[in-house]
Structure 1
Amino acid sequence: MAITPPQNRIWWNEPIHKIEMSWIVIAFLWGLFMFFFMIAWHFIGEQNLSTETYRINPDKYVEKVEAFAEKWQVGEEEGVPVVRPPAGEDVFLLARLWEWWPILELKKDQSYRIHMSSADWQHGFSLQPTNINIQVHPGYEHILILTPTESGEFSIVCNEYCGIGHHQMTGRIRVTE
């Protein structure tokens, strides 16, 4: 109940003031612009991720990643293999409680097909400080074509809550000249 109710209780029949109507029209047109711009940005933005995804048995994927890491391992950091595949090679990343495995060393300006999947739960692949975000599901192998354009160390952060150790789930990609 209002403190001072309107004189005319059927408020939706009241005329709309010109200023209020202009704001309604502006908001509606802005909404239409944003809707159509999202569609246009898909074509002109050159940021679209690959839609290449396959169904896979999580245990088989773990075996593929372990074979890949063993083949191209060049070192180890804190029990995690450091892997340096040749340019153009298929690269495999595994998400599992609570790590991205292995650490990758890639060459600048070389293209790689990065395969990623989860061994257990849904995880998020967020490559920082770039703006690449993918949900990674067990049973699905996601393939991303990546061409690093600057050298340095990039962090992989899980951005989908995956349990008590979620805040510690990180990985690394190093890009060298």
Structure 2
Amino acid sequence: MSLRPLTSPWFHAPAGHEKLWLGCAILWCFVMSLMMPYWHFRGKQNSTGEAYTVKPADFLARTEKFVAANRVGTFKNPIANPLGQELPLVEPPAGGDVYLIGRMWQWYPALRLRQGETYRLHLSSLDLQHGFSLQPLNMNFQVVPGYDHVLTLTPTSKGEFTIVCNEFCGAGHHAMTGKIFVE
């Protein structure tokens, strides 16, 4: 059996119920296009979108300065650091800027925040794209090298929150976790 060319005329203009369904599809596309900006402003689940360009070396220097000024101890993360490597545990002042680096294969440093206080969380990556996912709240943000993503954060409940990388970043991706402690 061979393929036969289409007989002419192969195209027929939509008629009857086809026009109805095409009209419904176009109307639905229009409605959904209007819903996207509506939910961005009305839904209150989106970040502010505040971001700045930054050189990874400059962001690392800011983070190290932040760690040196606010370090209160160390934290051993048995998942991310199976060899027992310790991360600095920092407690920033309320209302201050908090710096967090995503890099293969850790979130640096561990953070201790106060319930009800507002912080400006600066996120960036030093090497490649990572996904910042704060569990169990399911907050998700893309963290890209060369950009300082700023999130305004007010912890509303006490507890221990895990940061998970949800963007594949190489062999150690499965162990890339960090911690935020809220007291």
**Alignment correspondent of 1:139:** 146
Q: Does 1:114 align with 2:121?
A: yes
- Matched length: 174
Q: Which runs of 4+ in 1 moved over 6 A?
A: none
Q: CA deviation at 1:88?
A: 0.7
Q: Residue deviations 1:49-69, cap 9 Å, x none?
A: 133222222122212212212
Change (3 A) 1:15 1:150: same
Q: Does 1:77 align with 2:84?
A: no
**Alignment correspondent of 2:21:** 23
Q: Distance in 1 between matches of 2:9 and 2:105?
A: 58
Q: Does 1:94 align with 2:101?
A: yes
* Secondary structure at 2:11 match in 1: helix
Q: Distance in 2 between matches of 1:71 and 1:26?
A: 60
Q: Residue deviations 1:106-133, cap 9 Å, x none?
A: 1112110011111111212122233432
**Alignment correspondent of 1:162:** 169
Q: Distance in 2 between matches of 1:175 and 1:85?
A: 12
TM value normalised by structure 2: 0.81
Unaligned runs of 5+ in 2: 77-85
Q: Distance in 2 between matches of 1:39 and 1:60?
A: 34
**Alignment correspondent of 1:52:** 50
Unaligned runs of 5+ in 1: none
Q: Does 1:39 align with 2:37?
A: yes
Q: CA deviation at 1:145?
A: 0.9
Q: Distance in 1 between matches of 2:36 and 2:181?
A: 32
Structure 2: which amino acid aligns with 1:48? N
Q: Distance in 2 between matches of 1:17 and 1:9?
A: 22
Change (3 A) 1:121 1:15: closer
**Alignment correspondent of 1:12:** 11
Q: Percent identity?
A: 49
Structure 2: which amino acid aligns with 1:10? P
Q: Residue deviations 1:49-102, cap 9 Å, x none?
A: 133222222122212212212222222122012211121111010111101111
Q: Distance in 2 between matches of 1:125 and 1:32?
A: 32
Structure 2: which amino acid aligns with 1:77? F
**Alignment correspondent of 2:82:** none
